[in-house]
Chains A and B, each alone.
Chain A
Amino acid sequence: MPKRRFFDAYVHLPIPSGEGISIKELEEKIVLLSEKCRESGYKGCIYTIQVRDKQRISRKYLRSIYNFIRKSEKLDKNTVHGLRIEIIEQNQQKILNYIRSLRAYADIISIAGINRGILALGSRDRRVDVVTLIPGITPQIFRGDISYALSLNKFFELQLYHLLKKDIIKTARAIDFARTLINPLAKKKVNLLVSTGPFEPYSPRNPKNVVAFMKKFFDLPEDYVVKNMSEKIEYLITKNRLKLEKKIPVNGVYIEEN
């Protein structure tokens, strides 16, 4: 039986302000992060850049990071590394502006479900791939959101960063909040990602341990968690790349090469 290829969907990269860190430094960091990721049992990693309010990102910078990631992917065979942009913003119009300007520069676009409006936007907009759930902040997910997410094949994401706190009571509370968020999603078999999150320094957990954690604490079926962390996320990246290369111009149409 072939081994599962697990992906860490959130490997935090520092914010590319253009002045703080040079591209060379960032490239070195990417190499270190990928080594750490592989050591802990993942096959590939998705580097994530956070975009917060009033922040400007140079597109040249983004393009060079993306190219480096694609290049590093070719060096070690059978792996897929991706670039993801996570938008953390309260204003919906600003989110739409970010999506419009940054969609072409990343494999995955995700938004943090901070409030009701953003949660609804995230589950309805085709350009958003992942909606991040923050236990304690994200409100209840409604039936309408779930049905849209199912029809558009969207992912909801839970980060270990939001669950593993230093204080035991805070950890227990976060797990409880997460349980109420996840239960309706798991019932309807909506895609659910479990990733490391923006730990500083980056400290990934073994994917098999994460699967066992989800099984024991959230009563999720093992197969459901494993599939989402491996096959489905890889499929999402390859599909989005084909879309960016314009080989999938419209949903359901694939242009073959001669």
Chain B
Amino acid sequence: MVYILKKIKKRYIIIRTKISDKEELLKKLVNAIMYAFGLEGLSRTRPTVIYSKDNKHVVAIDKDGVDYLRAALVFSLYEDVKILRITGTSRKAKRIVDSLK
């Protein structure tokens, strides 16, 4: 029997940080979520960095995880990770990152 899982909707978050390395940013986000919500919160957000240019990145997360990520960022300073915009498609997110100076 084949179970077809419902496709989970994603949101694409455009982030500006001082960090330019993808891996390092992902580590930082994961640590922030783990600190605030633990493994449960991480399973609800599942962040992945899909695109980066200079110090701007596009992070894909589950739709329900947006609030988790935002709440987790309260524990870090605003200069460290700054959310610029949230989009519904990766194409649009990439286009915005490319257009930003």
- List the interface of chain A (C-beta within 8 A of B): 39-41, 160, 164, 168, 203-206, 208-213, 215-217
Report the nearest A residue to B83, measured CB to CB: A206
- Indicate the member of A164, A205, A217 with the most B CB atoms within 10 Å: A205
Bound-complex Cα distance A41 to B66 (A) = 17
- Sorting the interface of chain B by its residue count into under 10, 10 to 19, 20 to 34 or 35 or more gives 10 to 19
Q: Are B71 and A206 in contact (CB under 8 A)?
A: no
Bound-complex Cα distance A40 to B78 (A) = 6
Q: Are B35 and A168 in contact (CB under 8 A)?
A: yes
Q: Which residues of A contact B75 (CB under 8 A)?
A: 164
CB of A167 to closest CB in B, whole Å:
12
Q: Are A205 and B74 in contact (CB under 8 A)?
A: yes
Q: Mask for B44-68, Cβ within 8 A of A = 1, else 0?
A: 0000000000000000000000111
Contacts A/B (CB < 8 Å), 22 sampled: A41-B78, A164-B74, A164-B75, A168-B35, A203-B77, A205-B78, A206-B73, A206-B78, A208-B70, A209-B71, A209-B73, A209-B83, A211-B70, A212-B66, A212-B70, A212-B71, A212-B74, A213-B71, A216-B67, A216-B68, A216-B71, A217-B71
Interface of B is mostly: helix
Q: Which residues of A contact B71 (CB under 8 A)?
A: 209, 212-213, 215-217
- List the interface of chain B (C-beta within 8 A of A): 35, 37, 66-68, 70-71, 73-75, 77-78, 82-83
Q: Which residues of B contact A216 (CB under 8 A)?
A: 37, 67-68, 71
Q: Which residues of B contact A160 (CB under 8 A)?
A: 74
Q: Which residues of A contact B74 (CB under 8 A)?
A: 160, 164, 205, 209-210, 212-213
Q: Which of A39, A168, A213 contacts B70 (CB 8 A)?
A: A213
Q: Are B78 and A203 in contact (CB under 8 A)?
A: yes
- Indicate the member of A41, A206, A217 with the most B CB atoms within 10 Å: A206
Bound-complex Cα distance A164 to B76 (A) = 10
Bound-complex Cα distance A229 to B17 (A) = 26
Bound-complex Cα distance A236 to B83 (A) = 30
Bound-complex Cα distance A40 to B83 (A) = 10
- Besides A164-B74, A213-B74, 8 other CB < 8 A contacts? A40-B78, A41-B78, A160-B74, A205-B74, A209-B74, A210-B74, A212-B66, A212-B70
Bound-complex Cα distance A82 to B68 (A) = 32
Report the nearest B residue to A204, measured CB to CB: B78
CB of B84 to closest CB in A, whole Å:
11
CB of B26 to closest CB in A, whole Å:
19
From known contacts A164-B75, A203-B77, infer whether A209 and B70 are also in contact, taking CB-CB under 8 Å.
Answer: yes
Bound-complex Cα distance A209 to B73 (A) = 7
Bound-complex Cα distance A211 to B71 (A) = 8
Bound-complex Cα distance A206 to B66 (A) = 14
Bound-complex Cα distance A40 to B79 (A) = 8
Q: Which residues of B contact A40 (CB under 8 A)?
A: 78
Bound-complex Cα distance A247 to B75 (A) = 43
CB of B22 to closest CB in A, whole Å:
22
Bound-complex Cα distance A160 to B66 (A) = 20
CB of A225 to closest CB in B, whole Å:
12
From known contacts A164-B75, A168-B35, infer whether A215 and B67 are also in contact, taking CB-CB under 8 Å.
Answer: yes
CB of A37 to closest CB in B, whole Å:
10
Report the nearest B residue to A160, measured CB to CB: B74
